[in-house]
Structure 1
Amino acid sequence: MSKVKTERNYYPHAVVGMIIGCVIACGYTIKIALDNPVEMDTYYMEKYQNVDENINEILELQEKFNANFTLAYSSEKFHKGQNEITLRLTTKRGEVVENADITLMLSRPETNKENQTLRPSRVEKGLYTFGPFTIEKEGRWQLLSKIQVGEFKGYHKDEAYAVK
Structure 2
Amino acid sequence: MKRNYWPLFFIGIFSFVFSMIIWTVKSAISVPVIEDRSFMQKYQDVDENYNNMMEANAVFQSKYNFEFYINNVKFGLTTDDIKLSQRVLEKYSEHKNILKVGQNSLKVIVTDKLTNEKKDIKIEIIVSKTISADSDTILDNEKFTNIDGTFNSSIEIKDENNWLITGSFIVDENVGYIYIKTNAI
- Given the two structures, how large is their TM-score scaled by the length of structure 2? 0.64
Partner amino acid, structure 2, of 1:38: V
Distance in 1 separating the partners of 2:131 and 2:67: 25
- Compare the two structures and name the one with the higher strand fraction: 1
Amino acid at match of 1:33: A
Instruction: Calculate percent identity across the aligned residue pairs.
Output: 23
Q: Gapped runs of 5+ residues in structure 2?
A: 74-94
In the other structure, the counterpart of 2:57 is 65
Structure 1 residues 39-65: Cα deviation after superposition (integer angstroms, max 9, x where no partner):
11111324568x38x944x74244122
CA distance change for structure 1 residues 150 and 15 in 2, over 3 Å: closer, same or farther?
farther
Structure 2 CA distance, aligned partners of 1:17 and 1:97?
74
Give secondary structure in 1 for the equivalent of 2:39: coil
1:37 counterpart = 2:29 = no
Give the structure 2 partner of residue 86 of structure 1.
Answer: 107
Counterpart of 2:10, as a letter, is V
The code of the aligned residue for 1:143 comes to I
Aligned residues: 153
In 1, Cα distance between equivalents of 2:123 and 2:39: 13
Distance verdict in 2 for CA 1:71–1:31, change over 3 Å:
farther
For residue 84 of structure 1, give the secondary structure of its aligned residue in structure 2. Answer: strand
> Does 2:139 correspond to 1:139?
no
Distance apart, 1:139 and its partner CA = 1.0
Q: Take 2:181 and 2:164, find their aligned partners in 1: how far apart are those partners? A: 4
